[in-house]
Amino acid sequence: MFTLDQVVPWGRSYEEYASMFSLTGADMAGRILGCGDGPASFNAEATRRGNKVVSCDPIYTFSKADIKARIVATYEQVIDQTKHNQNEFVWEAITSVEELGQVRMAAMEAFLDDYPACLVEGRYLNFELPSLPFPDGEFDLALCSHFLFLYSRQLDEAFHHSSLLELCRVAKEVRVFPLLALGGTISPHLERSIEILRAAGHQVSIQQVNYEFQRGASEMLRIQSADG
């Protein structure tokens, strides 16, 4: 079973974000928060397209050289885990472990190229869940990719609940992908999280997306804020 002891820096591309979150032109027209983006190239690529994206992640406390060193240090671990658990993934858009490594490194290199100057610009912020220093409703859309629910063993139920409510405070709509934990089972925190969000007055749905790499991970959680 694919497992990791801690959250690792592992970046995905704009195209993957667009697929896993079913992003439309209208979605991209507003102010967007990427929470837990790590070394993804989504911010860099979206900004080049004229979109307004802010990414927050505790990894942004580090320099470009430090982040690159962390990527190098964890790259072999992730690739080795993938090689030994290939049955947990769908090899279609990405056809092999070798191609996976190339695709992920390309996304992370694009992030690293963008990072130094845009750290100063304020597009990459050293903030982390479950507490974000943004005003209520600061963003039109918040995206959380491969963090909440995926790391269910490392991050407990209380963390998930407070983090989701916080995302709903700062954004009119929140989308989270995937809903599976590492190893391919539905997160044990999902059902209760939905109950708490609905009790807080938010509209919550699970929606199919046109993306599946982790086998069975083809749904996102969509939350429309009670104040949105």
List pLDDT tens digits, range 104-116. Answer: 999 999 999 999 8
Query: Which residue has better confidence, 193 or 73?
Result: 193
pLDDT average, residue stretch 125-147: 96
- 3-state secondary structure labels for all residues of the chain: CCCCCCCCCCCCCHHHHHHHCCCCCCHHHCEEEEECCCCCCHHHHHHHCCCEEEEECHHHHCCHHHHHHHHHHHHHHHHHHHHHCHHHECCCCCCCHHHHHHHHHHHHHHHHHHHHHHHHHCCEECCECCECCCCCCCEEEEEEECCCCCCCCCCCHHHHHHHHHHHHHHEEEEEEECCECCCCCECCCHHHHHHHHHHCCCEEEEEECCCCCECCCCEEEEEECCCC
Q: What are the boundaries of each domain within the chain?
A: 14-224
Confidence of residue 79 (pLDDT cuts 50, 70, 90): confident
Q: HSE (CB half, 13 Å, CA atoms) of 100? A: 19
pLDDT for residue 29: 96
Q: Pick the closest to residue 223 from 35, 6, 12 (CA basis).
A: 35
| pLDDT tens profile 28-69 | 999 999 999 999 999 999 999 999 999 999 999 999 999 999
pLDDT for the residue 81: 83
Alpha-carbon distance of 21 to 29, in angstroms, equals 15
pLDDT at 89 over 70: yes
Question: What kind of architecture, by CATH, is found in domain 14-224?
Answer: 3-Layer(aba) Sandwich (3.40)
Percentage with pLDDT > 70 across the chain: 95
CA distance 96 to 208: 24
Question: Which amino acid belongs to residue 170?
Answer: V
Per residue in 4-26, pLDDT (tens digit) is: 344 567 789 999 999 999 999 99
Averaged confidence pLDDT in the chain: 91
pTM over 0.75: yes
Q: What whole-number distance in Å separates Cα of residue 150 and Cα of residue 68?
A: 23
